[in-house]
Amino acid sequence: MREIVLDTETTGFDPQTGDRMVEIGAVELYNHMPTGQTYHQYINPERDMPQGAFDVHGLSEEFLRDFPSFRAIARDFLDFIGDARLVIHNAKFDVPFLNAELGWCNLPPIPIERALDTLIIARKKFPGSPASLDALCRRFGIDNSHRTRHGALLDSEILAEVYLELIGGRQPGLVLAPTPASARTGAEDPGEWRPRPRPQPLPPRITKQEAAAHAAFVEAMGDGALWKKVRS
Buried b (16+ CB within 10 A) or exposed e, 143-168: ebeeeeebbbbbbbbbbbbbbbbbbe
C-beta atoms surrounding 28 within 10 Å: 21
Catalytic residue among 57, 146, 150, 214: 150
Q: Which helix (H) or strand (E) holds 38?
A: strand 33-42
C-beta atoms surrounding 12 within 10 Å: 17
57 a catalytic residue = no
Sheet hosting strand 33-42, strand order edge to edge: 33-42, 21-30, 2-10, 85-88, 115-117
Buried b (16+ CB within 10 A) or exposed e, 208-225: eeeeeeeeeeeeeeeeee
**Cα–Cα nearest to 69, from 87, 99, 44, 37:** 44
Residue type, 220: A
Is residue 220 within 8 A of residue 227, CB to CB? The reply is: no
Q: For 113, list phi and psi in degrees, rounded to 5.
A: -65, -20
Show which residues are catalytic: 150
